Amino acid sequence: MSANAVRELELRPSPGKRSNAPTVDVVVPVYNEALTLERSIRRLHRFLVRNLPFTWRVVIADNASTDDTWKIARRLSGELSGVDAIHLERKGRGRALRRAWSDSDADVLCYMDVDLSTDLRALLPLLASLASGHSEVAIGTRLARGARIRRSRKREFISRAYNTLLRLLLRARFTDAQCGFKAIRADAARQLLPEIADESWFFDTELLITAQRHGLRIHEVPVDWVEDPDSRVEILRTALEDLRGVVRLATSPPL
């Protein structure tokens, strides 16, 4: 990220922002991730300390875990500077992101999956277009030219089929709705969140379609991505929920 882009972001704080508020919030939504949470958060923390050129905060958003995830999250928030944790009583990744983003006082809000499947070196390019004012939303994509991925043929087929469906039915102009690596300017989030109904996995798609319908600019960053074999995503159930969400948006009245 260029020095000019950093200055642009720091010179345009959110209205009413506290003087000690971070420039970027990195939200990590988690559900029953006791085995991987500490390793991932410490790795993310080291990367941010060494590479992010402005103030940041990591927010672990535990959505109703039933294992030791919340206990570990609280301990990490006490041990690592710049790490906070919040707990939700109800499950749902979209619900966790809505809560964390709504409570944030940062200028830029982003999130990433706890498995860190996306190479963290893509974070600075993700933030650059938001910092410069070029775009309001930025997403990592595994389906654009320049991306390098390793995943099963089954997940590759489902992903490509789903995103093709979005282009056909919802006229999506982005290539990858589901990559767990996204960022949005806080002012854009405040505009869009009240209009997003989904509280689970379809939250990502609805966020992007709503942003597109409002004429907001969506910047795509090709990423390096490696499939996590221990993913908590239930592919069939998630696919069915996503299809219901697509039908709901396709039949909703235009803005």
- Is the model's pLDDT at 110 over the cut of 70? yes
Can you spell out the DSSP letters for 74-100?
HHHHHHSTTEEEEEESS--HHHHHHHH
Residues 109 and 86 sit within 8 Å (Cβ to Cβ) = no
Evaluated on CA atoms 20, 25, 29, 32, the torsion sign reads negative
- Is the model's pLDDT at 202 over the cut of 50? yes
Strands (E) in 100-232, as ranges, are: 108-112, 137-141, 148-150, 181-185, 218-222, 224-226
Instruction: Decide which of 114, 138, 157 is a domain's last residue.
Output: 114
Lowest-confidence range among 8-22, 114-128, 135-149, 180-194? 8-22
Residues 225 and 149 sit within 8 Å (Cβ to Cβ) = yes
Query: 200 and 148: one domain?
Result: yes
Query: 80 and 143: one domain?
Result: no
Residues 219 and 181 sit within 8 Å (Cβ to Cβ) = no
What global pTM score does this model have? 0.89
> How many CB atoms lie under 10 A from the CB of residue 38?
16
Residues 190 and 95 sit within 8 Å (Cβ to Cβ) = no
Q: Is residue 11 part of a domain?
A: no
Residues 40 and 28 sit within 8 Å (Cβ to Cβ) = yes
Select which of 204, 224, 228, 242 is catalytic.
204
Q: Is residue 2 part of a domain?
A: no
pLDDT category, 8, cuts 50, 70, 90? very low
Range of the domain at 214: 117-179+188-255
Is 115 known to be catalytic? no
* Model confidence pLDDT, tens digit, residues 31-85: 999 999 999 999 999 999 999 998 999 999 999 999 999 999 999 999 999 999 9
